[in-house]
Amino acid sequence: MSLVAKNIDLSVEAETHLDDVSFEMLKGKIYTLLGRTLSGKTTILKILAGLSEPDNGSLILDGVDYGRVPVWKRNVAMVYQQFINYPHLNVMQNVAFPLHKKGYNKANAQKEARQALARVGLTGFEDRKIQELSGGQQQRVALARALVKKADVLLLDEPLVNLDYKLREQLRDEFRELIKADEAKNSIVVFASTDPSEAMQLGGEIIVIDEGKVLQQGTCKDVFENPKNTKVAQITNEPAMNLFPGTIASGKVKISNSFDFDLPEHFSRLPEQEYIFGVRANEIFPSSSGQEFNVHLVEIVGSESLIHIEAPGIEAVALVEGVSELNENDVASFNLNTEYLYAFDKNGELVVSPYMGEK
């Protein structure tokens, strides 16, 4: 089974929501729509579900014009970020509801529902009211109800975003395993997220969305290692990849009047001209032999620290392990690992990455 979107456009009151969106998805795989808030992810999910109709373009599922299939005939399941369940029904009734709509008798519907509840770790909760459940348990109920449908297309719209960090990590792992299980092997799974770490951990393929456009589609590894342009490089990294305008001249990479370093090996055949250089935050590190920077801000993020630094012509964020002892307005020396330096042209298109050599 394949789902192919071609040249989809959608505007609402002269505001463009999707612009020439095209992609292809295959059953048994997970696809993460990765993009910032309001990038168009939910709009794509709504079109796949039949809740919105595009102005132009086509949506083909196994050779059938899916855009002409009414929403009530589409075998689609969707899990939202708002823990949507039926409050007047208990857990069992919530999960079995779509099966009753399909004409299952009560015994068979409950058998399937119990199996789905077991998959999401809610055995023994069948008679609970929805209001008696935690947020994470409510989201498990919604997922079980989606899985029990054995849908052709399973849509997950940022289903973990409203949960606390610890629960989000736990459910992310569970989602990944559930999606690989028998219930989803015959489905196309589409997961929308703003979190690049979440997208990488889920595996499968990533479709990077920005301002209603598909910027890149590929495996997690390909998109992370070889971002097509600077927008993809920033969207697929948290914090965003550091970008510096600069030049290659006289065998050196020059980022500012006072900051230059030897040409890394993978830049050896680049012509001497202007570029945009990129480096991830974890490749900038304190070094006594580095460039002096003013510390603008220090953020403690769990067991790591984000250090915002400035020098004439340069602003960057360094990600270091542990709780940094640096404070705002300190002066400290930093260097960067040139082995993992990227080069983009002046238009922001990838020229060289550390992983693919010269493009």
What tokens appear for 167 in the block?
A: 């629960």
Q: Which residues contact 9 (CB under 8 A, 6 or more apart)?
A: 16, 18, 19, 20, 21, 54, 55, 56, 57
Name the band, by pLDDT with cuts 50, 70 and 90, for residue 350.
very high
pLDDT for 358 beyond 70: no
pLDDT for 125 beyond 50: yes
Least reliable range by pLDDT among 68-77, 180-189, 335-344:
180-189
d(CA 25, CA 145): 23
Structure confidence at residue 238 (pLDDT): 93
pLDDT for 62 beyond 50: yes
Residue corresponding to tokens 């993460």: 32
Name the band, by pLDDT with cuts 50, 70 and 90, for residue 176.
confident
Assigned fold of 2-235 = Rossmann fold (3.40.50)
pLDDT for 183 beyond 80: no
Q: Where in the chain is the domain with CATH 2.40.50.140?
A: 243-358
> Top-level CATH class of 243-358?
mainly beta
Contact 240, 316 (CB under 8 A): no
* Number of neighbours of residue 9 by Cβ within 10 angstroms: 15
Structure confidence at residue 6 (pLDDT): 96
Return the percentage of the chain with pLDDT > 70, whole number. Answer: 96
Structure confidence at residue 186 (pLDDT): 77
Of 117, 109, 81, 271, the closest CA to residue 195 belongs to 81
Name the band, by pLDDT with cuts 50, 70 and 90, for residue 277.
very high
Contact 307, 295 (CB under 8 A): yes
pLDDT for 173 beyond 80: no
Mean pLDDT of the chain: 91
Of 293, 287, 280, 353, the closest CA to residue 329 belongs to 293
Mean pLDDT of 26-34: 92
How confident is the model over 33-50, as pLDDT tens digits?
A: 999 999 999 999 999 999
d(CA 34, CA 193): 5
pLDDT for 190 beyond 50: yes
d(CA 202, CA 160): 12
Q: Where in the chain is the domain with CATH 3.40.50.300?
A: 2-235
How confident is the model over 208-260, as pLDDT tens digits?
A: 999 999 999 999 999 999 999 999 999 999 999 999 999 999 989 999 877 88
Name the band, by pLDDT with cuts 50, 70 and 90, for residue 359.
very low
Name the band, by pLDDT with cuts 50, 70 and 90, for residue 184.
low
pLDDT for 300 beyond 80: yes
Mean pLDDT of 301-312: 93
How confident is the model over 91-111, as pLDDT tens digits?
A: 999 999 999 988 999 999 999
d(CA 339, CA 77): 45
Residue corresponding to tokens 């992609």: 23
Structure confidence at residue 51 (pLDDT): 92
d(CA 48, CA 224): 26
What tokens appear for 244 in the block?
A: 């510096």
